[in-house]
Amino acid sequence: MIIDTHAHIDQLEDLPGALERAHEAGVSDIIAVSVDLGSMEKVLSIAGQYQKPKIHPALGVHPGMVKAETQQMALDFMRANLSQARAVGETGLDYWYKWVRKDEIERQQQKDSFAVHLELAQEFDLPIVIHSRGAWQDCLSMTLASGVKRALFHWYSGPVDILDQIISAGFYVSTSVSVAYSPESRQAMGHAPLDRILVETDAPVTYRDGETKFMAEPKDVIRTWKALAQLKNLDEQEVLTVVNANAKAFFGI
């Protein structure tokens, strides 16, 4: 059995089929992250409908989905429903695009949203799932300043020096199917200790498989696990045991 620690199940085109295929492949649990108000509502509804795999909601507003006109409504919904969640997220900062790096207002809106998520994680004693693309240092600095103890930098592919700080702080990182071929993912996961790594799909993201591309489903977390084991040059069963234990400890499942 294996755990997909990050999937956008509300975005899957064939949800019943995808969950059935995941169950048949051996996926026992899925952390179902959300990105905005509508997504949070859907994730909670889906979690109540399916038991195999077990769906664990994570409630949050993705940094790319922060909108001034709906933000307070989304945050109010989070506060009212976090008792039903296993984590806060997906939240964080995203400076990947040049226009964001040049737009101080956009960056500040993301920071304000992330700060509230960190506060809610503290208040509800929940782990937080952090999107940090291109904003790794700012995400880490804000997380450290918040006092949050359980943080996961999902699909980490940033600098190794910041990764060392993340690990030293007692936080976790996760990797996706990209660990099979992405130089950045492979460098980061080759450096990270196995006892701080979780595996995910970020479904329905599109990945490469040789010369072809495919849209991921939760069952494809098996690809992540096997690619990580190959990268680490470790026995697959050993890696599976450790990453599952990491996920269970982090999310309390």
3-state SS class at 70: coil
- Residue 43 tokens read as 């994730």
Domains of the chain: residue spans and CATH: 2-251 (3.20.20.140)
Q: Looking at residue 100, what is its pLDDT?
A: 78
Query: What pLDDT score does 185 carry?
Result: 98
* Closest by Cα among 249, 200, 191, 252 to 222: 200
pLDDT in tens, 102-160: 788 888 999 999 999 999 999 999 999 999 999 999 999 999 999 999 999 999 999 99
Q: Where are the alpha helices (DSSP H) in 169-208?
A: 183-191
Nearest-angstrom CA–CA distance, 57 and 49: 12
CA angle 82, 10, 204 (to 5 degrees): 125
Contact 87, 126 (CB under 8 A): yes
| pLDDT mean for each 10 residues of the chain (253 residues) | 98 97 98 97 96 97 92 95 97 87 86 97 98 97 97 98 98 98 98 98 95 96 98 98 98 96
- Give the CA count within 13 Å in the CB-facing half-sphere of 189: 33
Task: For tokens 């084991």, name the residue.
Answer: 229
Question: pLDDT at position 30, please?
Answer: 98
Query: Cα–Cα distance between 16 and 251 in angstroms, integer?
Result: 24
Residue with tokens 């709906």: 70
| Whole-number pLDDT of residue 226 | 98
At residue 225, φ and ψ (nearest 5 deg) are -55, -50
Is the bond into 53 cis (omega within 30 degrees of 0)?
yes
Residue matched to tokens 């077990």: 54
Q: What is the pTM of this model?
A: 0.96
What pLDDT, on the 0 to 100 scale, is given for residue 7?
A: 98
